Amino acid sequence: MAGAAVGAQDLQAWLATRTRWRAVEIAFWLACLTPYVLAPDYLQLASQIAIAALFALSLDLVLGYAGLISLGHAAFFGLGAYTAGLLAANGWGEPLSGLAAAAVFTGACGFLVSFVVVRFRGLALIMITLGLAQMLESAANSANWLTGGADGLQGVAMQPLFGAFSFDLWGRTAYAYSLAVLFLVFLLVRRITNSPFGLSLRGIRENESRMTALGASNRAHLRKAFTLAAAIAGMAGALLTQTTQTASLQTLGFQKSADVLVMLVLGGAGRLYGGLLGALVYMIARDQFSDVDPQYWYFWIGLLLIAVMTFLPGGILGGLSRLLERRRSRAK
């Protein structure tokens, strides 16, 4: 953190500088529009990437900022996916209200779960998040009448977005829709993490007892962050259902939780753009390697993970920022 002895005034100024948009960021978001021109055949993949990025952003909020390790984050993704899917399968095919309903419902579930989760740390926390997600998965698996079981949810029929843009086979609408939601949620998360509340979260991550000594109510902060992250994960799940018009049990599975964790850490946790970049690298790599030999794709992702953890702690963005710092200090 910048200087220990800053006053409230300086803090406001510091937060304000953090909130300012940098050229790189603007370039990044503009680049997100280029698939329409450069790779129109890959828009379906691009929309999957945007959804994965939104999911990773949600995990970044709990793990990267608040420091809570969750191995069951897919539970919220799956809840959102099934909320949107069940609404659409039962005649409520309007996408935006479906998305909002998924966000509200998963947010409420997240709020309830957060009372349990914030009491634990370390291995107990990892196992409890994992256990809760597995419970949900096996419940969804046995509730055939509701979820369609192993076959997935059938009959998800989406109405056109704004009544005008229908979800086409090439993913033109899907990508625009996913990217717009990702961008809006990103703006919100960016604002939140650069607020005093975001600073408190980082404080809790770094030193919980010191934050208590400063008078922060840690558990209330963590609960808020967890609830918000659950709602965002639910939105990501809802987007997936709406753009692919199916919902499967895989959205709830352990594999999904592990995947998003790997994405976030590859990119760099606690950096907002880390999850986005990680999702991009992970999804493109999976697409490419799976074409060569789908079975062995995990070999490469595993090797990449080992290499990043050994040589590049802090992920791709962490490595980049260290490189920049070294250059800057050399320039001085």
Partner 1 sequence: MTGAVAGVLYDGFAYGMLLFLLSVGLSVTLGTMNFVNLAHGSFAMVGGYVAVTLMNRLNWPFLAALPAAFVSAALISMVLERVLFRRFYRASDLDQCLLTIGIVFVSIASAAYLFGTQQEAVRIPDWLAGSYVVGAQTFGIYRLFLIVVALALAALLVGALEFTRFGAKVRAAVDNQRMARGLGVDVDRAFALTFALGGGLAGLGGALAIELVGLDHNFAFTYLIYVLIVVSVGGLGSIGGSFVAAALLGVSTVAGEYWAPQTGSFLIYFIMVAILAARPSGLFGKR
Binding to partner 1 in span 77-116, by CB under 8 A: 116
Between 183 and 254, name the residue whose CB sits nearer to partner 1: 254
Query: Residue 245 to residues 35, 45, 142, 207: CA-CA distances in angstroms?
Result: 22, 15, 22, 44
Q: Which of 2, 123, 164, 169 binds partner 1 (CB under 8 A)?
A: 123
Q: Interacting stretch for partner 1, rule CB under 8 A, among 99-107, 189-197, 244-252, 254-262?
A: 254-262
| Token couple for 219 | 């558990």
Nearest to partner 1 of 54, 265 (CB atom): 265
Q: Which is nearer to partner 1, 115 or 170 (CB)?
A: 115
Q: What are phi and psi of 326, to 5 degrees?
A: -65, -40
- Contact pattern from residue 56 through residue 75 relative to partner 1, giving x for each residue in contact according to CB under 8 A and a dash for the rest: -------x-----x------
Q: Which of the residues 268 through 297 are near partner 1 (CB under 8 A)? A: 295-297
Measured CA distances, 150 to 113, 141, 142, 146, 262 (Å) = 26, 7, 9, 11, 25
Distance CA(151)–CA(140), nearest Å, equals 12
Cβ at position 163, least distance to partner 1 in Å: 41
Task: Scan residues 124-143 and list those touching partner 1 (CB under 8 A).
Answer: 124, 126-128, 130-132, 134-135, 138-139, 141-142
Structure tokens at 205: 């991550």
CA distances from 141 to 152, 250, 260, 308 (A): 10, 10, 22, 35
Who's near 44: CB < 8 A, 6+ residues apart?
A: 170, 171, 174, 175
Q: Does 40 bind partner 1 (CB under 8 A)?
A: no
295-324 positions binding partner 1, by CB under 8 A: 295-306, 309-310, 313
Q: Per CB under 8 A, does 250 bind partner 1?
A: no
Cβ of residue 89: shortest distance to partner 1, in angstroms?
Answer: 23
Q: Least distance (Å) from partner 1 to the CB of residue 14?
A: 26
HSE of 181 in the Cβ direction (CA atoms, 13 Å)?
35
What single string gives the DSSP state of each residue in 95-137? HHHHHHHHHHHHHHHHHHHHHHHTT--HHHHHHHHHHHHHHHH
When the beta carbons of 32 and 128 are compared against partner 1, the nearer one is 128
Shorter beta-carbon distance to partner 1: residue 127 or 146: 127
Cβ distance to partner 1 smaller for residue 100 or 304: 304
What is the length of the chain? 332
Given the rule CB under 8 A, which residues bind partner 1?
63, 69, 116, 119-124, 126-128, 130-132, 134-135, 138-139, 141-142, 254, 258, 261-262, 265, 295-306, 309-310, 313
